[in-house]
Amino acid sequence: MDSVISARKLTKRYGSGDATVYALREVSVDVARGKWTSIMGPSGSGKTTLLHTLSGLSLPTSGAVTLSSGHKRHDLTSLSENRRAALRRTNIGVVFQEFNLVPVLNVQDNIRLPLRLAHRKIDKDYEQEIVTRLGLGGRLKHLPHQLSGGQRQRVAIARALLPRPDVIFADEPTGNLDSEAGEQVLSMFRELVDAYRQTLVVVTHDPAAADRGDDVIRMRDGQVVA
Ligand SMILES: Nc1ncnc2c1ncn2[C@@H]1O[C@H](COP(=O)(O)OP(=O)(O)OP(=O)(O)O)[C@@H](O)[C@H]1O
Ligand SMILES: [Mg+2]
């Protein structure tokens, strides 16, 4: 299989002694390039922890995560913090529950920030397309605090998409959206995968949303179940 992300025997332990929690127990997964992989499982089963680890945002207690980009392979678990941060700007897109928008930057500058930091050119046509599809055209000069929660979420989605990363990770991306806005995001994701072969990994509680994807990873008690 052509995998963008390969994780082997990921274990994540929080705390120690009686307070020890194993959020992940020897999880091995492969994320297929050009596909939409959904992650499902009960609350507390380790979905967010898995996403943070696969995206290089946090390190596992043990195990390895490899990102394949073109002909290069990057071992996210052994890179320096700086190299991991650089990869996260352009090769890995994230849409997490806390949107992490920069409060003093307007919508457009937030969307462009990862490319600016990486000194990369902005594809204005692609930006226009994303912004229009996400219904943000009239809000580009607004600051995050002037937006609704759902609009902030869509800004975070636009920011993740613009660099055309190898893979985009999204944690409950439709969780704060009404059914219509949620449906727009899901159809856009589907089109991005079909039209641009954008690889997506999406955590969701909604079986209908998971069904829009190509593969499903099911988690329980920190492990992947068949
Ligand atoms: N920083 C932390 N310190 C201690 N335990 C943690 C920490 N973060 C997560 N956990 C524990 O790890 C387990 C997995 O948490 P995680 O957030 O990955 O679950 P989840 O599947 O995303 O749940 P939800 O659907 O509620 O978002 C939980 O038992 C949680 O309490
Ligand atoms: Mg979670």
The pLDDT of residue 177 is above 90: no
> From the CB of 68, is ligand 1 less than 6 Å away?
no
> Rounded mean pLDDT of the chain?
93
Which of the four pLDDT bands, split at 50, 70 and 90, describes residue 60?
very high
Q: Ligand 1 test: best mutation among 47, 58, 218, most atoms within 8 Å of CB? A: 47
> From the CB of 54, is ligand 1 less than 6 Å away?
no
Ligand with minimal distance to 40 CA: 1
Q: Name the residue at shortest CA distance from atom 3 of ligand 1.
A: 14
Dist CA 35 CA 37 (whole Å): 6
Dist CA 135 CA 159 (whole Å): 14
Pairing of strands 215-220, 36-40: parallel
User: 23 C-alpha vs ligand 1 centroid, how far in Å?
Assistant: 6
Q: What is the pLDDT of residues 199-223, one digit of tens each?
A: 999 999 889 899 999 999 999 999 9
The pLDDT of residue 171 is above 80: yes
Dist CA 162 CA 174 (whole Å): 19
What is the fold, at CATH topology level, of the domain defined by 3-225?
Answer: Rossmann fold (3.40.50)
**Per-residue confidence (pLDDT) for residue 97, from 0 to 100:** 66
Q: Give the SS3 label for residue 80.
A: coil
Nearest to 8 by CA among 47, 75, 64: 64
Dist CA 95 CA 165 (whole Å): 12
**Cα dihedral 104→109→114→118 (10° resolution):** -110
**Per-residue confidence (pLDDT) for residue 98, from 0 to 100:** 66
Residue with tokens 């052994």: 78
> From the CB of 51, is ligand 1 less than 6 Å away?
no
Q: Give the SS3 label for residue 108.
A: helix
